[in-house]
Amino acid sequence: MSEVIEPKDDGTDLEQLGERGATKATWAKELQLAVKLLHDQLKGLIGIDGKTSRGKVLFGAFYAESVVRQALADVLVLPRADENDHIISAGTNYARAATWARELGILEATIQKRVKKIEGIKGITRGGTVGRYHSESTIRERCVNAIWDKTLRVPPSGEITLENVLCLGLKRFSKAHGLDDKLLHEVVSARKLPVLGYALSGKNKTALYERDRIIFDERVQKKLVENGIYLIENEWWVLLKRYAKSKHVSIGRMRKEMHEKHPGIHTKEIEINRRVQTLFPKDQTDLLIATRAPKPKKLRIRNGNKWQTYATAAEVERITGKNHSIIRRYGLSQRVPTLQRDGVTYYQVEACKAIAVTS
């Protein structure tokens, strides 16, 4: 020890009593504790005068080992954190709020607030102080909505799946669907919807909410219909004329944008138009899928030992040179084999060629 007590004439010779004595700083170094912690724990206790190993006399600055250990009895039995500020106790991983905040990418204040009423365990930190530690399971349970993956990005549509729940980022969803994001914020506030997670929207962190609890709000539905946007079988459909109006662009430009974003989308128009007449008899405008990836134009199907080719109506038109409305009319009357895949009708090419020759 750097500071020890020398024998004194008044009988306070600790060496004769079989004990060591040292200053708070020396005991702190030996016990790997913070000096402030020693100061707080020994407060009110009277020290012993003595002289350091360098000959400096200190009054009331030395404490016997038995006194120190008795004062620190509750502290010395606590588990110690490792170099990463973690404590493994009974197979459970514990850490302080600041450590979890750094590792999980959330605010320390958020953790402090959510575990305020939870005891956790006490432990000795790397700095030699006593800190409060919480298990990883507790933090994840209490802060489930705040923990987020920084690689998760909200797509332009505003919709994203988070732990098998379809969520949306308000700003991007409102922009993609011609809505005012203030309306969506009002719905979230009125319904007291919880934040299910976070993701990056551009360079910013954005909150994610359960999609269906927002879009089926009466006010949101009304605005979507005004913009010509419908959710059918969990897919977004748009009436081009009305959607173009909501975006303040011409129908020609809107159609061009749709075709650029979704190559081959025109191949679906006949099936889509037939469908929209059933769902929305008053709307005879073209209806196109706005967010769905294009389907293949051809399918090769094995029938026994033979392979048969099926194609969309538009692809049949290209192959046979006949208008696809004629193909459909003759095909239906003569029972041309068809296939339904993901809402798209495919016609057997060989049978359509035979019809095209006779028509």
List pLDDT tens digits, range 164-186. 788 899 999 998 888 888 999 99
Is-above-0.85 flag for pTM? Answer: no
Residue 283 has pLDDT above 90, yes or no: no
> For 128-152, what is the mean pLDDT?
81
> Up-side HSE of residue 296: CA atoms within 13 Å toward CB?
10
| 102 vs 188 pLDDT, higher one | 188
Are 244 and 206 spatial neighbours (Cβ–Cβ below 8 Å)? Answer: no
Over the stretch 28-83, which tens digit does the pLDDT of each residue have? 888 888 988 888 888 877 777 777 677 777 776 788 888 888 888 888 889 999 98
Phi and psi at 303, nearest 5°, equal -120, 95
> For 315-332, what is the mean pLDDT?
68
Average per-residue pLDDT for the chain: 77
Integer Cα distance of 137 and 100 in angstroms: 11
Phi and psi at 353, nearest 5°, equal -60, -40
